[in-house]
């Protein structure tokens, strides 16, 4: 299984990852679609994302951005995505304004641009994105929807 984890520090830390880092087993090396910005350690792939200290202002809002498929976009029938967006946590943490919207935008991006079918995208936001519901998706839904050759996209905001 190939996987790509995309997430923001606090949420990944709550899932037990060292923020903003994700570690997992992989079967394949980097591909043209996923260049390898990580360091490989044996069969483990360690990936992290680094955001600039002062992000450049967006030219248009993410809500108004059109998500058009690439020319000749490849459909990925075996690819699945787990997309989570949590704005309000039960514990005392700052509100993550826009996380649910970001998750919904990534789900749309996965369908329109990455070529995943809508039925292969599991979107959990706010009250539906509890630890127990995420565990259920990982334990039950994922097992029914992937095989050894599957691609897994995991997005957490």
Q: Which stretch of 28-37, 126-135, 139-148 has the lowest confidence by average pLDDT? A: 28-37
What is residue 5's predicted lDDT score, i.e. its pLDDT? 60
> What residues make up the domain containing 91?
2-49+75-156
For residue 93, how far is the Cα from the chain centroid? 21
> Does residue 37 sit within a domain?
yes
Instruction: Specify the DSSP class assigned to residue 2.
Output: E
Dist CA 103 CA 107 (whole Å): 6
Dist CA 29 CA 106 (whole Å): 24
Asked if pLDDT for residue 11 goes beyond 50, the answer is: no
Specify the 3-state DSSP secondary structure of 54. Answer: coil
- Within a 10 A sphere around the Cβ of 103, how many other Cβ atoms? 23
Q: Which two tokens stand for residue 59?
A: 């030219």
Nearest to 14 by CA among 80, 87, 89, 123: 89
> Does residue 64 sit within a domain?
no
For residue 110, how far is the Cα from the chain centroid? 9
> Does residue 68 sit within a domain?
no
Number of domains the chain is built from: 1
Q: What is the pLDDT of residues 26-65, one digit of tens each?
A: 333 344 444 444 433 333 334 444 344 445 555 555 555 5
């Amino acid at each position: 299984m190939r996987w790509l984890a995309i997430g923001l520090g606090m949420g990944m830390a709550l899932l037990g990852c060292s923020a903003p880092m994700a570690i997992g087993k992989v079967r394949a090396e980097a591909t043209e679609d996923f260049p390898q910005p990580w360091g490989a350690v044996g069969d483990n792939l360690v990936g992290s994302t680094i955001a600039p200290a002062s992000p450049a202002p967006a030219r248009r809002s993410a809500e108004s951005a059109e998500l058009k498929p690439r020319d000749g976009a490849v459909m990925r029938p075996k690819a699945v995505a787990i997309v989570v967006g949590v704005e309000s946590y039960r514990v005392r943490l700052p509100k993550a304004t826009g996380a649910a919207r970001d998750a919904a935008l990534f789900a749309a991006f996965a369908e329109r641009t990455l070529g995943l079918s809508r039925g292969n995208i599991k979107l959990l936001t706010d009250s539906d994105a509890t630890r127990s519901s995420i565990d259920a998706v990982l334990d039950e839904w994922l097992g029914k929807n992937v095989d050894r050759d599957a691609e897994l996209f995991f997005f957490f905001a």
